[in-house]
Amino acid sequence: MSALTRPAPRAYAPPVQRTVEVIGRRPVEAYVELTLAAPEIAERAEPGQFVAFAVGGPTSGLLLRRSIAISTAEAGVVTVVVSAAGPGSTWLTERRVGDALDVVGPLGRRFPDPPPGARALLVGGGYGAAALVGLAARLRDRGCPVDVVAGAAGADRLCSVQELTGLADRLEVTTDDGSSGRRGLVTLAVDELLPEAGVVYACGPMPMLRAVADAATARGIPSYVAVEESMACGIGVCMTCVLPVVGEDGRTRFSRSCTEGPVFGGDRVRFADVGALPWDVVGADAMGVVAP
Amino acid sequence: MSALTRPAPRAYAPPVQRTVEVIGRRPVEAYVELTLAAPEIAERAEPGQFVAFAVGGPTSGLLLRRSIAISTAEAGVVTVVVSAAGPGSTWLTERRVGDALDVVGPLGRRFPDPPPGARALLVGGGYGAAALVGLAARLRDRGCPVDVVAGAAGADRLCSVQELTGLADRLEVTTDDGSSGRRGLVTLAVDELLPEAGVVYACGPMPMLRAVADAATARGIPSYVAVEESMACGIGVCMTCVLPVVGEDGRTRFSRSCTEGPVFGGDRVRFADVGALPWDVVGADAMGVVAP
Amino acid sequence: MTVLQTRVDMSTALGAAPIPSPVLTASGCSAFGRELEPFVDLSAIGAVVTKSVQLRPRSGRPTPRMAETPSGMLNSIGLQGPGIDGLLADELPWLAERGARAFVSIAGTRVEDFAELAARLRGVPGVLGLEVNISCPNVESRGEVFACDPVAASDVIAAVRAAADAAHPVYAKLSPDVTDIVGVARAVTGAGADGLSMINTLLGLVIDPDTMRPVLGGVTGGLSGPAIRPVALRCVWQVHQALPEVPILGMGGIRTGLDALQFVLAGASAVSVGTAVFNDPSAVARVHAELAAALEQRGFASLREAVGYAHR
Amino acid sequence: MTVLQTRVDMSTALGAAPIPSPVLTASGCSAFGRELEPFVDLSAIGAVVTKSVQLRPRSGRPTPRMAETPSGMLNSIGLQGPGIDGLLADELPWLAERGARAFVSIAGTRVEDFAELAARLRGVPGVLGLEVNISCPNVESRGEVFACDPVAASDVIAAVRAAADAAHPVYAKLSPDVTDIVGVARAVTGAGADGLSMINTLLGLVIDPDTMRPVLGGVTGGLSGPAIRPVALRCVWQVHQALPEVPILGMGGIRTGLDALQFVLAGASAVSVGTAVFNDPSAVARVHAELAAALEQRGFASLREAVGYAHR
Ligand SMILES: Cc1cc2nc3c(=O)[nH]c(=O)nc-3n(C[C@H](O)[C@H](O)[C@H](O)COP(=O)(O)OP(=O)(O)OC[C@H]3O[C@@H](n4cnc5c(N)ncnc54)[C@H](O)[C@@H]3O)c2cc1C
Ligand SMILES: Cc1cc2nc3c(=O)[nH]c(=O)nc-3n(C[C@H](O)[C@H](O)[C@H](O)COP(=O)(O)OP(=O)(O)OC[C@H]3O[C@@H](n4cnc5c(N)ncnc54)[C@H](O)[C@@H]3O)c2cc1C
Ligand SMILES: Cc1cc2nc3c(=O)[nH]c(=O)nc-3n(C[C@H](O)[C@H](O)[C@H](O)COP(=O)(O)O)c2cc1C
Ligand SMILES: Cc1cc2nc3c(=O)[nH]c(=O)nc-3n(C[C@H](O)[C@H](O)[C@H](O)COP(=O)(O)O)c2cc1C
Ligand code: FES
Ligand code: FES
C-alpha cells in the first residue's frame, strides 16, 4: 500500500484555557447542544479540533477533562453536541444557560484541505456528525462540493442533520433500525457516493471509521478520520490516547490521538491493531514483543 | 459539683432518608436560608435536632454529609440557615429553588422541656441562633416566657434576629465590633438576664457555649447547649464526634455528639478537656493514660 | 431493606457459615448495628461486622479523629469501645434478638489478648464468626503492626483458631501497607485462617493548613473510601490469583452494586461496605439490591458463579 | 506564568542544584515539557521532570492505558518514549534552548542500564540532575520491583551515583507499596542518593463491569491523583521525621498551593505536580503562585523556613 494521505497538519494557533459561559442549551433528540461564549477559542478553532471540559464543578471527584468535538465556531461562539455517556458527559448535558465552564481548546489537528477541485464526502456517525458541520460550512464557502452521509443506530441518535442539510449538495441518512432515512449502515450510502468523491472526511465510532476508510482506500481516495480514543489529558502529555498509526516513513508508531490526531489519514490508522501491540510498532521490541 | 441537668432525651421518632426539594432560597446577611419541602422530616423534627445533607451532587469527591441544625419545621417544611465555611457548605448555599437534596434527619437529641414555670433564656451565637427559632416558638406556644440573646462577630453574622424578635419577650443583640446592638460578647447581656432565668438553652461556637454554661452553672441554673463537633456520619456509627461528657453516674465518657447530643447539659460537657484525653475518661486507662 | 426480587441466588458463606446476602457492614463503620436499624433490615444483610473489640473498654483517641480527603477520609478513632464484657452484655444480645448475624471483629496488642477474646466468644448466640483485626500495634515488637509481619500475623491467627469456637470461621483482616500482601495471606491461611478480609485502611496523613500541624491527634490515620478502591481491588485480585481456594471478604471503597461486583469478579465471595455508610446509611441494603440486579443483567444465576470470574 | 509577586523567597534546591521555584512537573505527567508551553513559562518553574527514559525507544503498552477512579486515575503506559538517543537529540536541546531546567528521570530493568543512562547524561546542557525511577521490574530478580527491595534499590542508586555527572544531584524515586518506606529511604541515601522523590503511584486495579475483565491491558496500573495525597504526605512525613537532613521532592495528588504547602510543612523542599496537570494544564504555575501566597499569609519570609515546619 502506498500512502494516500499526508499526516493532518498542526493547528495554526496554540490552545488556551478559559472559563466560558453557557449561552445556549438545546436538547436535540438523544443529545444536548451547548452554545458557549468563547471568543478566544472560536477565533482559533479549525474544523476537526476539539475542546476539553473540566467536569463536576469545584467538589468534583472526576479529575480528568472530557474531550468534545467542536461542531461550529464562529462569531465568538463555540457549539458542541454532547451525548450523556457516563458521569462526566452527563454532567455536561445538565449545564444551564448562565453556568460557567472551564474549557481548554482548541485541541488537536484539523481536517486538511481537500485536493483542488475535489468533491468531498463527509460521513458522520451518531454525534460524530456534529464535528462535520464546521467543516461542511468551510468547504462550501470555499466552493468545494459537499456530499454528506449521516448515520446512527436510530432516529434519536442522528445529529446535526438539519444544519448539514443546509450545507450539503446531497445528504443521505441511514439508521440501523430504519427509523429514519434508509435502513442500514452508513456504508450503504457511502458506497454509492464514493465513486464521485475526491476526498472523504469521517467522524464517528471506530468500526464506522474503519469501514469508511477501508472503502475509500480501496478506491484510491484519500480519507481523513477523526478518531475517538480514551483521553486523560487531551493536550499530549500523558500518552494514554495512542493508536498504531503509519508514519510518513512507513513505520508504525503509537501516536497520540489528542495531538497527532484526532484527525488521521484513514489509510494510516491500523484499525485492526487498535488495543494490541503489533511487533512492528516502533519500540515494541523493547517491550519484549518479537517479530513472528 | 452536683449535676443540674439530666441527659437530653432521645428523639421521639427515628430519622428517615429522603430526597427533598428546595422550595426557597434567601440570602440573609452572610448566610443563606434554605427552605425544603420535607414533610416526613418536618413532622418528626424537634427543636435542637439537625439534618445531614449529601453534598456536591453525583460526581462529588466529598463523601461525608454536612450536618446543619434545623431552624424551623412546620407544615411539611424544614428551614435551615447555612454559612459557607468550606466546600461542602458552600455548595449547599449555592443550591437553587427546584434543586433536589439528599437529606437524612431529623438527627440527634432535642432540647429538653423547661422546668415548670421557668423563664427560658435562649442564647445564640452566629448562625447558632437559627437553631433556637423552633425552640422559641415551641416555648412560647406552651406559655413559657422567653428571653433571647443573639450575638455575633459583626452585624452580617447575626442570624434569625427578626424571627426571634417576634417570639421573645425580650431580645438583646450583641456584636464583637458593635456594628449592631451592644458591643461585646453575648455574656454581657446574658449576665443581666440570667438572674431571672429558670433554664438556659444555647447554640453557637464552643467558647460561647462554655461561657454561657459556666455562668448558668455558677448560678445553679440548668443549661442545655447544642454543640458542634466535626462529624463524619451524623448517625452514631463512626465515633468521630465525641466529647468528654459527665454521665448520670458521675463518670466521664467520650460521648457522640450526633446521637447522645448535640444537646448536652451545659454542666456535663467538660469544655476544658475537649480535644484532650483526660485520665478519668472511661477507658482512658486502656489507652495507656494513667492517673496523675 | 427492600430486596429487589431478582432470580439470582445471592447466598454465600463466610468459611463454612452460610449467609443469605454477600453484603456486610465493615468493622468500625456501623458500630454494633443499632444505629442502622431505621435504614436497613439487619437480619437480611450478610452480617453485622462489629467494631473491633478489645479486652477492656477503651476511650479511643482525643479529637479531632477524622479528616475528609478527596473521595475518602482519614480516621484515627483509636478503637473506642465497650470492651468484651460490654459487647457480651449489651451489643450481641441486642443483635441476636433481632435475628442479625454478628461477625465479631477482635483486636489486641498481644497474641494472648486475641486468643482470650476468641475464647470468650465461644458459643455466644448470634455470633457467626470472627474477623481478626491484626492492624494493631504489637506491644511485644516495639509497636510494629501485626499485619505487617507475616510471622506475627500468623501467631495471632494460630492462637485465635485454636481458642475459637470450632463453628466460628476465623477471617484475618489484612493491611494493604505491605510489600507483599500475598506473602501475608499465605502465612495466615497456613496458620489456620478460614478466610481473609481485605483491606483495612491505608496509613495516611493530612496537615491542617491553618494550624500547620497534622489534623489528627494521632498524627497519622487510616485512609478509607472510594479513593482506595483500586488498591483494595488489586489486593483481592492478587490474593485470589495466588490462593484461589481461600474465601475473601472484600472491602475498600465500595459504594454501589457495580463496585461490589468488581470485588466479586476479582475473587471476593462477600463484601463489606464501610465508609459509604457515612454517606448513605442504607448503603448496605442498596448495594445488595444493586449487586443482585447487576448479576442478573449479566446472566449469572448465582453469586457464587461470579466469584473470581475476571480471572477466567 | 503569572508569578504573583510575593515577598516570599521561593528559591530552593534539588541537592546542590539551585532552582528558582519549588514547583516542578512530575515524571510522565508533562511528557518532555513542550506541550505545556502554551500554558506555563517553562523557564520559571522549578524544573521539567521528564518522562522516564530508558536506553531504547519503547512503544509502551497497548491501550486501554488508563481508567478514571474516584479523585484519581490508574495508568499503565508502559514507559512509552524515544529512548536516550531521542531524548538527547530532540527533547533536551529543545528545553535547553528555552532556558528550562530538565530533571531527567531514568529507568531500566538492570542496574547497568541505569548506570549507562546516567553516564550518557553527563555534562548535557540544561540537565539539572537525575531522578531515578526504581519502580521498574528488576529482570534479574524475577521481575520484583527495585523500589520494593532496599538492597536492589541501593544497588541502582550506588551505580547511578558513581556513573553520573558529579554536578547532577541524584534523587531516588520511592514507591509507597512497601512495608517500611523509611527503611528503603535509609538504604538509598546510604548508597549515595542526594535526595528522595516521593511518591510514585500505588499499585491498583479496576475491573470493567461490562467486559468483566480488568480495564487495563496490563491488568494492574498505577494509582495517582488527589485520592493518594494522604498516603504521599504520610510517606514524606515519616521519612523526613527519620532523615531530616535528606532533601525530599514531594508529590502525589498535589492540585493546589495549599496541597503543596502540606508537603512542604511535612518536609518536602520541592514538589512535583503530576496528574493535576491533566485537569489544569497551567497547574504547575498556578500551584507556585498559590503556594507563594499561602506562605506569605502565614508569615514565612522564605520557602526554606517552612520546610518540615509541621514537625517543629
Ligand atoms: C476527540 C474527541 C471528540 C469527542 N467528541 C465528542 C462529542 O462531540 N460529543 C460527545 O458526546 N462525546 C464526544 N467524545 C466522547 C467523550 O469524550 C466521552 O463520551 C466522554 O469523555 C465520556 O466521559 P464520561 O464521564 O461521560 O464517561 P466515562 O466512561 O465515565 O469516562 C471515564 C473516563 O474515560 C474517558 N473517556 C471515556 N470515553 C471516552 C471517549 N470516547 N473519548 C475520550 N475519553 C473518553 C473520560 O474522559 C474519562 O476520563 C469525544 C472524544 C474525543 C476523544
Ligand atoms: C449539629 C450541628 C449543627 C450544625 N448546624 C449548622 C448550621 O445550622 N449552619 C451552618 O452553616 N453550619 C452548621 N454546622 C456546621 C457545618 O456542619 C459545617 O460548617 C460543615 O460541615 C462544614 O463543611 P464544609 O465542607 O463547608 O467544610 P470543611 O471544613 O471542608 O469540612 C470538612 C469535613 O469536616 C466536617 N466538618 C467541618 N466542620 C464541621 C462542623 N463544624 N461540624 C460538623 N462537621 C464539620 C464536614 O462535615 C466535612 O466532613 C453544624 C454542625 C453540627 C455538628
Ligand atoms: C471510622 C472508621 C473506623 C474503622 N474502625 C475499624 C475497626 O475498628 N476495625 C477494623 O478492622 N477496621 C476498621 N475500619 C476499617 C474498615 O473496616 C474498612 O476496612 C476500611 O475502611 C475500608 O473500607 P471502606 O473504604 O468501605 O470504608 C474503620 C474505618 C473507618 C472509616
Ligand atoms: C500517566 C502517568 C504516567 C507516569 N509516568 C511516570 C514515569 O514515567 N516515571 C515516573 O517516575 N513516574 C511516573 N508517573 C508517576 C508520577 O510521576 C507521580 O509520581 C505520581 O503520579 C503521583 O503524583 P500525582 O498524583 O501528582 O500524579 C506517572 C503518572 C501518571 C499519572
Ligand atoms: S490524552 Fe494525554 S497524550 Fe493524548
Ligand atoms: S458523627 Fe459518626 S458517630 Fe457521631
The length of chain A, given as a count of residues: 292
Residue A42: what pLDDT? 97
Q: Is the peptide bond before C199 cis (omega within 30 degrees of 0)?
A: yes
CB-based contact D148:D177 (threshold 8 Å): yes
> What is the CA(B243)–ligand 6 centre distance, in A?
11
**Closest Cβ opposite residue A63 in set D28, D65, D225:** D225
Q: In sequence order, what are the residues at sequence separation of 6 or more whose Cβ sits closer than 8 angstroms to the Cβ of residue C160?
A: C106, C114, C115, C117, C118, C130, C132, C170
Annotated binding site of C for substrate: 51, 75-79, 133, 200-201
What is d(CA A217, CA B181) in angstroms, rounded to the nearest whole number?
Answer: 83
> What is the CA(B148)–ligand 2 centre distance, in A?
24
Query: Left if phi > 0, otherwise alpha if psi is -120 to 50, otherwise beta: which for A109?
Result: beta
Residue B2: what pLDDT? 65
H/E stretch holding A105 reads strand A100-107
**What mean pLDDT do residues C157-166 have?**
98
Whether the CB of A256 sits within 6 Å of ligand 5: yes
Q: State whether residue C308 sits within 8 Å of chain A by CB.
A: no
**What mean pLDDT do residues D272-298 have?**
98
Task: State the smallest CA–CA distance between residue A64 and chain C in angstroms.
Answer: 14
What is d(CA C108, CA C127) in angstroms, rounded to the nearest whole number?
Answer: 19
Which atom of ligand 2 lies closest to the CA of B89?
26
Q: Is the peptide bond before C20 cis (omega within 30 degrees of 0)?
A: no
Nearest bound ligand to the CA of residue B107: 2
CB-based contact B17:B96 (threshold 8 Å): no
Over the stretch C78-123, which tens digit does the pLDDT of each residue have? 999 999 999 999 999 999 999 999 999 999 999 999 999 999 999 9
**Which mean pLDDT values do the consecutive 10-residue runs of chain A (292 residues) have?**
81 94 95 97 96 96 97 96 96 96 97 94 96 95 94 93 92 93 92 94 96 96 96 97 95 97 96 96 94 86
- Touching subunits of B (3+ CB pairs, under 8 Å) are A, C, D
> What is the CA(A68)–ligand 1 centre distance, in A?
7
3-state SS string for D271-288: EEECCHHHHCCCHHHHHH
Instruction: Return the exposure string of C251-274: e unless at least 16 CB atoms fall within 10 Å of the residue's CB, then b.
Output: bbbbbbbbbbbbbbbbbbbbbbbb
φ, ψ of residue B171 to 5 degrees: the values are: -135, 125
Spell out the domains of chain A, with CATH numbers in brackets: 16-107 (2.40.30.10), 120-237 (3.40.50.80)
Question: CA nearest B62 in D: which residue?
Answer: D71
Handedness of CA A231, A232, A235, A236 (dihedral sign): negative
C-alpha cell at C57: 473498654
Block residue for cell numbers 516570599: D8
H/E stretch holding C129 reads strand C127-133
CB-based contact C33:C48 (threshold 8 Å): yes
- Touching subunits of C (3+ CB pairs, under 8 Å) are A, B, D
Strands annotated E in A141-262? 146-152, 170-175, 182-183, 199-203, 223-226, 242-246, 252-256
Over the stretch D191-244, which tens digit does the pLDDT of each residue have? 999 999 999 999 999 999 999 999 998 899 999 999 999 999 999 999 999 999
C-alpha cell at C73: 477520609
CB-based contact B147:B120 (threshold 8 Å): yes
What is d(CA C22, CA C42) in angstroms, rounded to the nearest whole number?
Answer: 13
The neighbour count for residue B178, using CB atoms within 10 Å, is 12
Residue D42: what pLDDT? 97
The neighbour count for residue B123, using CB atoms within 10 Å, is 34
CB-based contact C197:C107 (threshold 8 Å): no
Interface probe for B, chosen from D69, D71, D73, D256 (most Cβ of B below 10 Å), is D71
Instruction: Return the exposure string of B7-21: e unless at least 16 CB atoms fall within 10 Å of the residue's CB, then b.
Output: bbeebeeebbbbebe
Residue C5: what pLDDT? 64
Pocket of ligand 6 (CB under 6 A): B 231-234, 236-241, 256, 258
CB-based contact D205 C233, cutoff 8 Å: yes
Which residues on chain A are in Cβ contact (under 8 Å) with D73?
Answer: 63-64, 232
Residue B67's pLDDT band, with cuts at 50, 70 and 90, is very high
Whether the CB of C106 sits within 6 Å of ligand 3: no
The neighbour count for residue B49, using CB atoms within 10 Å, is 25
Over the stretch C265-312, which tens digit does the pLDDT of each residue have? 999 999 999 999 999 999 999 999 999 999 999 999 999 999 999 999
CB-based contact A102:A91 (threshold 8 Å): no
> What is the CA(D59)–ligand 1 centre distance, in A?
24
**What mean pLDDT do residues C147-159 have?**
96
CB-based contact D207:D213 (threshold 8 Å): yes
> What is the CA(A135)–ligand 5 centre distance, in A?
24
Which residues on chain A are in Cβ contact (under 8 Å) with C226?
Answer: 61
C-alpha cell at D77: 503506559
Residue C142: what pLDDT? 75
User: In testing the pocket of ligand 3, which one of C201, C216, C272 has its CB within 8 Å of the most ligand atoms?
Assistant: C201
Task: State the smallest CA–CA distance between residue A245 and chain B in angstroms.
Answer: 35
**For residue A65, which amino acid is it?**
R
Q: Is the pLDDT of residue D1 over 50?
A: no
> What is the CA(A63)–ligand 6 centre distance, in A?
29
In this predicted structure, which of B91-100, B158-167, D25-34 has the lowest mean pLDDT? B158-167
Nearest bound ligand to the CA of residue B254: 6
The neighbour count for residue D197, using CB atoms within 10 Å, is 29
Nearest bound ligand to the CA of residue B58: 1
Q: Is the pLDDT of residue D33 over 50?
A: yes
Annotated binding site of C for FMN: 27, 51-52, 133, 173, 199, 225, 252-253, 274-275
C-alpha cell at C297: 443483567
Residue C2's pLDDT band, with cuts at 50, 70 and 90, is very low
Which residues on chain D are in Cβ contact (under 8 Å) with A284?
Answer: 59
Q: Is the pLDDT of residue C136 over 90?
A: no
Pocket of ligand 4 (CB under 6 A): A 238; D 26-29, 51-52, 75, 77, 79, 105, 133, 173, 200-201, 222, 224-225, 228, 251-254, 273-276
Q: State whether residue A56 sits within 8 Å of chain B by CB.
A: yes
Task: State the smallest CA–CA distance between residue B124 and chain C in angstroms.
Answer: 24
ipTM score assigned to the predicted complex: 0.96
What is d(CA C83, CA B265) in angstroms, rounded to the nearest whole number?
Answer: 27
In this predicted structure, which of A57-71, B134-148, C262-276, D134-148 has the lowest mean pLDDT? D134-148
**What mean pLDDT do residues B213-238 have?**
96
Which atom of ligand 5 lies closest to the CA of A237?
3
* DSSP symbol at C288: H
Q: In sequence order, what are the residues at sequence separation of 6 or more whose Cβ sits closer than 8 angstroms to the Cβ of residue D270?
A: D12, D13, D14, D19, D22, D23, D24, D46, D247, D248, D249, D250
The neighbour count for residue A226, using CB atoms within 10 Å, is 29
Residue D139: what pLDDT? 78
3-state SS string for chain D: CCCCCCCCECCEEECCEEECCCEEECCCCCCCCHHHCCCCCCCCCCCEECCCECCCCECCCCCCCEEEECCEEEECCCCCECHHHHHHHHHHHHHHHCCCCEEEEECCCCHHHHHHHHHHCCCCCCEEEEEEECCCECHHHCCCEHHHCHHHHHHHHHHHHHHCCCCCCEEEEECCCCCCHHHHHHHHHHCCCCEEEECCCEEEECEECCCCEECECCEEEEEECHHHHHHHHHHHHHHHHHCCCCCEEECCCCCCHHHHHHHHHHCCCEEEECCHHHHCCCHHHHHHHHHHHHHHHCCCCEHHHHCCHHHC
Interface probe for B, chosen from C278, C284, C286 (most Cβ of B below 10 Å), is C278
Q: State whether residue D71 sits within 8 Å of chain B by CB.
A: yes
Annotated binding site of C: 27, 51-52, 75-79, 133, 173, 199-201, 225, 252-253, 274-275
- What global pTM score does this model have? 0.97
Q: State whether residue C151 sits within 8 Å of chain D by CB.
A: no
Helices (H), B94-168: 133-141, 161-165
Residue D143: what pLDDT? 76
Residue D13: what pLDDT? 97
Residue B267: what pLDDT? 95
**What mean pLDDT do residues C48-62 have?**
96
Residue D44's pLDDT band, with cuts at 50, 70 and 90, is very high
User: In A, residues 18-77, which contact D (CB 8 Å cutoff)?
Assistant: 54, 61-65
CB-based contact D237 C220, cutoff 8 Å: yes
Whether the CB of C54 sits within 6 Å of ligand 3: no
Q: State whether residue C86 sits within 8 Å of chain B by CB.
A: no
**DSSP assignment of B44-61, as one string?**
H--TT-EEEE--S-TTBS
CB-based contact C284:C273 (threshold 8 Å): yes
Q: Which residues of D are catalytic?
A: 136
User: In testing the pocket of ligand 5, which one of A64, A230, A239 has its CB within 8 Å of the most ligand atoms?
Assistant: A239
Across chain D, what does the average pLDDT equal? 96
> What is the CA(A53)–ligand 1 centre distance, in A?
10
Q: State whether residue C68 sits within 8 Å of chain B by CB.
A: yes
